[in-house]
Each structure stands twice: as structure tokens, then as C-alpha cells.
Structure 1
Amino acid sequence: MTLMHHDTVEDIMRGEKGHELLRFLEKIPELDQLKIELIDGKIVMQASAAPFHNRIVALLTAQAVGEGWEVLPEQALISDISSFEPKADLTVTTEEAIRNNPNPLPVDHVELVVEVVSSDRDSDYVKKRMWYAMSRIPLYLLIDPNECMIELHSQPDRLSYRRVDPYQFGDPVPLPDPFSFAVDTTRFKPYPPKLP
């Protein structure tokens, strides 16, 4: 990527160059252990998630795969909203939708995205939720181990989802069509209290 002297950081991140910079960073071996996303025009790098976070992701993966779905951890997603390229904790889709191995995966190939809240609550509760809704992803499952709370967002409409169904850890979370199962949350664990 060649930068012109008059390019500002905001110009770079808001346009296609933000995606080019993301591709560049993904090729640096020293950054392999980081999750690198483009969120609201900013490159966000996060270290590996904690075990309870990863455990929830693993439990969800096993359930969805057992029901015949394709489940992609940290899959880059793309839409015509150029200042974003998130990597949801889980993306649920069909075998047909990934047959040609597209990367980043276009959002019209996605049935459900899952985010497990870790350190940046604003990203999962506000920025990603808005982008998922604007990009017309049918279902967004938000899991917050800080609060032992789950929200199933459905019916995307402009900047948000029209419907939000709240649940607690331990509750079954029924997924609407095209899914035919309820997520079992009985083995989800809350994050331990943070040490002072």
C-alpha cells in the first residue's frame, strides 16, 4: 500500500485502504496471536481471549455443528459499509455459502453471528451490533459473562435490531428459523471477579 503525503489516518481507515492495511497486518508473523479487526474505521488488536470466553465459544460451536451448521471462529466479515471488517467470535452459515471459500465472507452468506463480551464492551454492545444490523445479518447472539446475560437480536432494521430477547445463563435460547434448536447455556460460566 502506497500512502500519499496528504492521506490522513482517518482517510486511510474509512476507505478501502483500511482493508488494505488490515490485510498487511494479517501477514505479519509476529501478530499471528492477535485478533485484528477494522471497527468503525479503527484497527483493533486483541490478545487471545480468556479460557471462560473460549469455553463458551467451544460449547456453542459443538452445538451448532451437531445441528448441521458450518461454524467459523473469528471469520472476517465484509459488507458495503467500508469502515468495518469485524471478526465475530463465531459466524454460523451453511456449507453452500462457503463453497467458494470467500474471505472475507460477505454478510449475505451469514445466518448468525455470536460475540462473547470480553474487554471492549462498547464494541460488542454498540459498534458491532450496529454494523451487523446495518449489514442485515439476521441474528446476533450477544453473550456477556460479566453479567451472566444473553441477548438474541433479530429483525435487523437500519442501525439496530427491532427485537431483542433477553436470557440468563442457564436458560435455553431458542433460535428462530432457519434454525431448529435452542442453545443450551447451562455450562456457561461467569467471569471470575477481577482482582484489585
Structure 2
Amino acid sequence: MAANAEHDPRCIDEQALLDGFLKLGTPEGYRAEFIEGEVVVSPPPGGDHEGILSVITWQVARRSSGRMDFSGNKGLELVCGDKCTKNHLVPDGVFAPHDLGLFWGAPVWMPSDGVAMVVEVISAKPEMDRWIKRHCYAKAAIPLYLLADRMEKTVCLFSGPDREAEDYREDIRLSFGKTTDIPEPFGFTLETSEFQ
């Protein structure tokens, strides 16, 4: 909790909810997240969702200018300014430079420091990925957010996080089938022709 929020009843209520969330038993295959004071439970992803994530992961592994480590469904504890509680998000994919060794010995809910890019593939809750998670990632200063929107058949790459504006300064949007450059530390062109 923020020091100035120590006695704020709203912050105490949010901390109690967060404490309960951290003890939550989620059914196997499901994932639970604590986003902006709400507990969000999502079902296991379908095949098309995982197919897109697989294509992205394969391209990052083989085309990036430097070696990247990957974790699917890694819990991130996001520090978001002076909020009472921290957001606990589980991106579909998390990439970090290999030389940082972020995933080795990391706790279940890992800080986002050093994460180079998070990836979400929209499935059941589109507004969560399009808006709420995007603002959470920007507030946590994660450099790149790649969003594959299966409903609109678009890919969005958000960059230049601005904590004060709680958003990214830049975004590139393209239709499935087009290409986009993923900047350093990745430094390659993402092909989306296999996305469906």
C-alpha cells in the first residue's frame, strides 16, 4: 500500500480483496487476474488463440536480433503509480532479454521490471485486452504491448508507455496478413499471414 493511503478505507478494502485473490483456488486450466480492483477469471484458450500465440513465439525466437526468453501465462505484479493495490495480470505471453534471466527463480507474481514485451490474443473478453490491460501495461511502463484481435482481424503494436497519461504514445494497427516491424530489442518484421 502507498504510505499516504495507509488509513484510506477504500485502500484497506482493496487490500482485503487482493489478499483474498492471492489465496484464490482457480480450477485447472483457468486463470485468475486482479485488474483495477476486480477479480477476473478466464477459461482455457481455444486452438486459434494458441495458434496465433505460437506463430508470434516462433517468429520472436527465430528472427529477433537478440535472444529472448518467453513465458506463457506468467503472472505479473504491476506497480501502477500511487494506487492502493497492485494489478496482478497474466498476459498470454511475456518476453524478456535472455541475459536478464528474469524467469529463473521468479515468484508466482513477478515484477514487470525488465519485461520487453507482453502479448495478448483476444478471446472471451475483448474490452479487457483492448482497453483495461493496455492501460495497466502502460502505467507499469512495459515498453511494448502486442495485441492480436481475432474479432477485428487486426494486430496492434503499442509502444512508448506514458505513466501519467496511462496509455502508450504510439500504436500501429494493421489487418491480419500484413507485416509490422517490432523494434529493438527484437528488431524484426512480424508476419501475420498465418493469423486467422
TM-score when normalising by structure 2? 0.82
Residue correspondence of structure 1 range 127-142 to structure 2 within 5 A: 127-142=132-147
Q: Distance in 2 between matches of 1:105 and 1:184?
A: 30
Hey, what does 1:149 align to over in structure 2? 154
User: Are the aligned partners of 1:37 and 1:85 in contact in 2 as well (CA < 8 Å)?
Assistant: yes
Aligned to 1:57: 53
- Residue 109 of structure 1 aligns to a residue whose secondary structure is coil
Question: As a proportion of its length, which structure holds more strand?
Answer: 2
Q: C-alpha separation between the residues in 2 aligned to 1:77 and 1:83? A: 10
Contact 1:56 1:188 in 2 (8 A): yes
Query: Residue type matched to 1:145 in 2?
Result: R
Q: Which residue of 2 aligns with 1:114?
A: 119
Asked if the contact 1:39/1:86 (under 8 Å) is kept, the reply is yes
Q: Which amino acid aligns with 1:37?
A: E
The one-letter code sitting in structure 1 at the alignment partner of 2:95 is V
Alignment of 1:1-196 (within 5 A): 11-12=12-13, 14-15=14-15, 17-25=16-24, 28=25, 31-66=27-62, 67=64, 68-81=67-80, 82-95=85-98, 96=100, 97-158=102-163, 159-189=166-196
CA RMSD of aligned residues (A): 2.0
Return the structure number with greater relative CO, CA threshold 8 A, min gap 6. Answer: 2
AA aligned to 2:188 is F
State how far apart, in whole Å, the 2-side matches of 1:153 and 1:170 are.
18
Structure 2, unaligned runs of 5 or more: 1-8
Distance 2:55 2:121 in 1: 12
